[in-house]
Protein backbone atom coordinates (compact mmCIF):
# COMPACT_ATOMS: atom_id res chain seq x y z
CA UNK A 1 0.00 0.00 0.00
CA UNK A 2 1.57 3.28 -1.05
CA UNK A 3 -0.31 5.56 1.36
CA UNK A 4 0.98 5.22 4.91
CA UNK A 5 -2.08 6.84 6.49
CA UNK A 6 -4.49 4.57 4.63
CA UNK A 7 -2.41 1.54 5.61
CA UNK A 8 -2.44 2.67 9.25
CA UNK A 9 -6.23 2.95 9.10
CA UNK A 10 -6.48 -0.56 7.62
CA UNK A 11 -4.23 -2.05 10.28
CA UNK A 12 -5.83 -0.12 13.14
CA UNK A 13 -9.38 -0.94 12.06
CA UNK A 14 -8.55 -4.61 11.48
CA UNK A 15 -6.90 -5.01 14.87
CA UNK A 16 -9.71 -3.14 16.62
CA UNK A 17 -12.35 -5.30 14.94
CA UNK A 18 -10.45 -8.46 15.85
CA UNK A 19 -10.13 -7.44 19.50
CA UNK A 20 -13.80 -6.48 19.76
CA UNK A 21 -14.94 -9.66 18.00
CA UNK A 22 -12.85 -11.84 20.28
CA UNK A 23 -14.35 -10.13 23.33
CA UNK A 24 -17.99 -9.71 22.24
CA UNK A 25 -18.41 -11.99 19.18
CA UNK A 26 -19.64 -8.95 17.21
CA UNK A 27 -18.12 -6.38 14.87
CA UNK A 28 -19.91 -3.10 15.61
CA UNK A 29 -21.65 -1.20 12.83
CA UNK A 30 -20.16 2.06 14.09
CA UNK A 31 -16.68 0.67 13.38
CA UNK A 32 -17.45 -0.72 9.93
CA UNK A 33 -19.40 2.34 8.82
CA UNK A 34 -16.68 4.68 10.10
CA UNK A 35 -14.00 2.75 8.21
CA UNK A 36 -16.09 2.81 5.04
CA UNK A 37 -16.64 6.58 5.32
CA UNK A 38 -12.94 7.19 5.97
CA UNK A 39 -11.99 5.00 3.00
CA UNK A 40 -14.41 6.72 0.64
CA UNK A 41 -13.43 10.13 2.02
CA UNK A 42 -9.71 9.55 1.56
CA UNK A 43 -10.35 8.32 -1.96
CA UNK A 44 -12.57 11.31 -2.76
CA UNK A 45 -9.91 13.84 -1.73
CA UNK A 46 -7.05 11.93 -3.35
CA UNK A 47 -5.37 10.88 -0.10
CA UNK A 48 -6.09 7.16 -0.32
CA UNK A 49 -4.20 4.53 -2.21
CA UNK A 50 -7.04 4.33 -4.75
CA UNK A 51 -9.46 6.73 -6.39
CA UNK A 52 -13.14 7.00 -5.56
CA UNK A 53 -14.31 4.49 -8.20
CA UNK A 54 -11.73 1.90 -7.16
CA UNK A 55 -12.68 2.52 -3.53
CA UNK A 56 -16.35 1.83 -4.30
CA UNK A 57 -15.45 -1.28 -6.34
CA UNK A 58 -13.21 -2.51 -3.49
CA UNK A 59 -16.20 -2.17 -1.18
CA UNK A 60 -18.43 -4.14 -3.54
CA UNK A 61 -15.80 -6.85 -3.98
CA UNK A 62 -15.37 -7.18 -0.22
CA UNK A 63 -19.14 -7.43 0.15
CA UNK A 64 -19.50 -9.88 -2.73
CA UNK A 65 -16.72 -12.18 -1.58
CA UNK A 66 -17.97 -12.42 2.01
CA UNK A 67 -21.73 -12.48 1.41
CA UNK A 68 -21.96 -16.18 0.39
CA UNK A 69 -20.35 -17.19 3.68
CA UNK A 70 -22.92 -15.14 5.55
CA UNK A 71 -25.79 -16.61 3.54
CA UNK A 72 -24.82 -20.16 4.50
CA UNK A 73 -24.22 -19.19 8.12
CA UNK A 74 -20.43 -19.52 8.08
CA UNK A 75 -19.73 -15.87 8.96
CA UNK A 76 -21.59 -13.03 10.61
CA UNK A 77 -22.95 -9.86 9.07
CA UNK A 78 -20.28 -7.80 10.83
CA UNK A 79 -17.59 -9.82 9.07
CA UNK A 80 -19.18 -9.05 5.70
CA UNK A 81 -19.44 -5.33 6.51
CA UNK A 82 -15.85 -5.27 7.80
CA UNK A 83 -14.41 -6.69 4.57
CA UNK A 84 -16.56 -4.32 2.51
CA UNK A 85 -15.47 -1.33 4.60
CA UNK A 86 -11.80 -2.20 4.38
CA UNK A 87 -12.26 -2.72 0.65
CA UNK A 88 -12.80 1.05 0.39
CA UNK A 89 -9.23 1.53 1.56
CA UNK A 90 -7.61 -1.35 -0.30
CA UNK A 91 -9.27 -1.11 -3.72
CA UNK A 92 -10.26 -4.06 -5.92
CA UNK A 93 -7.03 -6.02 -6.39
CA UNK A 94 -5.86 -5.79 -2.79
CA UNK A 95 -9.36 -6.66 -1.54
CA UNK A 96 -9.24 -9.86 -3.58
CA UNK A 97 -5.80 -10.65 -2.13
CA UNK A 98 -7.16 -9.87 1.35
CA UNK A 99 -10.04 -12.27 0.83
CA UNK A 100 -7.71 -15.10 -0.20
CA UNK A 101 -5.37 -14.45 2.73
CA UNK A 102 -8.39 -14.25 5.05
CA UNK A 103 -9.68 -17.60 3.80
CA UNK A 104 -6.30 -19.22 4.46
CA UNK A 105 -6.05 -17.63 7.91
CA UNK A 106 -9.66 -18.60 8.66
CA UNK A 107 -8.99 -22.19 7.69
CA UNK A 108 -5.95 -22.37 9.94
CA UNK A 109 -7.85 -20.78 12.83
CA UNK A 110 -10.78 -23.16 12.27
CA UNK A 111 -8.41 -26.12 12.42
CA UNK A 112 -6.83 -24.81 15.64
CA UNK A 113 -10.27 -24.24 17.20
CA UNK A 114 -11.43 -27.72 16.19
CA UNK A 115 -8.27 -29.27 17.60
CA UNK A 116 -8.58 -27.31 20.86
CA UNK A 117 -12.23 -28.31 21.25
CA UNK A 118 -11.51 -31.95 20.45
CA UNK A 119 -13.61 -31.77 17.28
CA UNK A 120 -11.02 -32.27 14.55
CA UNK A 121 -12.42 -35.57 13.29
CA UNK A 122 -16.00 -34.25 13.30
CA UNK A 123 -14.96 -30.98 11.65
CA UNK A 124 -13.06 -32.78 8.89
CA UNK A 125 -15.98 -35.15 8.30
CA UNK A 126 -18.48 -32.26 8.16
CA UNK A 127 -16.21 -30.29 5.83
CA UNK A 128 -15.83 -33.28 3.52
CA UNK A 129 -19.60 -33.87 3.51
CA UNK A 130 -20.20 -30.19 2.80
CA UNK A 131 -17.81 -30.23 -0.15
CA UNK A 132 -19.19 -33.51 -1.52
CA UNK A 133 -22.78 -32.22 -1.30
CA UNK A 134 -21.81 -28.91 -2.94
CA UNK A 135 -23.14 -27.17 0.14
CA UNK A 136 -26.61 -28.69 0.08
CA UNK A 137 -26.23 -30.17 3.58
CA UNK A 138 -25.35 -26.90 5.33
CA UNK A 139 -28.55 -27.02 7.41
CA UNK A 140 -27.58 -30.41 8.84
CA UNK A 141 -24.08 -29.23 9.68
CA UNK A 142 -25.29 -26.01 11.33
CA UNK A 143 -27.83 -27.90 13.43
CA UNK A 144 -25.31 -30.34 14.91
CA UNK A 145 -22.16 -28.25 15.02
CA UNK A 146 -20.71 -26.07 17.77
CA UNK A 147 -17.52 -25.07 16.05
CA UNK A 148 -18.10 -21.33 15.53
CA UNK A 149 -15.40 -18.79 16.33
CA UNK A 150 -14.72 -15.07 15.95
CA UNK A 151 -13.78 -14.50 12.29
CA UNK A 152 -12.58 -10.88 12.47
CA UNK A 153 -9.08 -12.05 13.56
CA UNK A 154 -8.83 -14.00 10.28
CA UNK A 155 -9.99 -10.91 8.40
CA UNK A 156 -7.41 -8.83 10.24
CA UNK A 157 -4.64 -11.18 9.21
CA UNK A 158 -5.84 -11.20 5.60
CA UNK A 159 -6.20 -7.46 5.20
CA UNK A 160 -2.92 -6.70 6.94
CA UNK A 161 -1.11 -9.15 4.65
CA UNK A 162 -2.82 -7.59 1.61
CA UNK A 163 -1.97 -4.06 2.74
CA UNK A 164 1.73 -4.90 2.45
CA UNK A 165 1.52 -6.49 -1.00
Grade residue 134 by pLDDT with cuts at 50, 70 and 90.
Answer: low
Worst-scoring range by mean pLDDT, 34-43, 60-69, 93-102, 125-134? Answer: 125-134
Would you say 44 and 6 are in contact if contact means Cβ atoms under 8 Å apart?
Answer: no
Query: From residue 123, how far is each of 9, 30, 119, 146 by CA, in Å?
Result: 35, 34, 6, 10
Would you say 61 and 48 are in contact if contact means Cβ atoms under 8 Å apart?
Answer: no
pLDDT, mean of residues 139-144: 55
pLDDT over 70 percentage in the chain: 90
pLDDT, mean of residues 60-89: 95
pLDDT over 90 percentage in the chain: 67
> Taking all residues of the chain, what is their mean pLDDT, rounded to a whole number?
90
Check whether 131 has a pLDDT greater than 50: yes
User: Tens of pLDDT along 12-34?
Assistant: 999 999 999 999 999 999 999 99
Check whether 126 has a pLDDT greater than 80: no
pLDDT value of position 143: 46
* Angle of CA points 20, 79, 121, to nearest 5°: 95
Would you say 34 and 43 are in contact if contact means Cβ atoms under 8 Å apart?
Answer: no
Amino acid sequence: MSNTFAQAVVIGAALMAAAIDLRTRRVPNVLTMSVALVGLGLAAVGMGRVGIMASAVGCLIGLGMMLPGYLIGATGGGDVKLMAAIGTLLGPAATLRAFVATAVAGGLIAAAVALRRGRMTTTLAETGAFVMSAGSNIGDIRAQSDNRFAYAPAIAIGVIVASFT
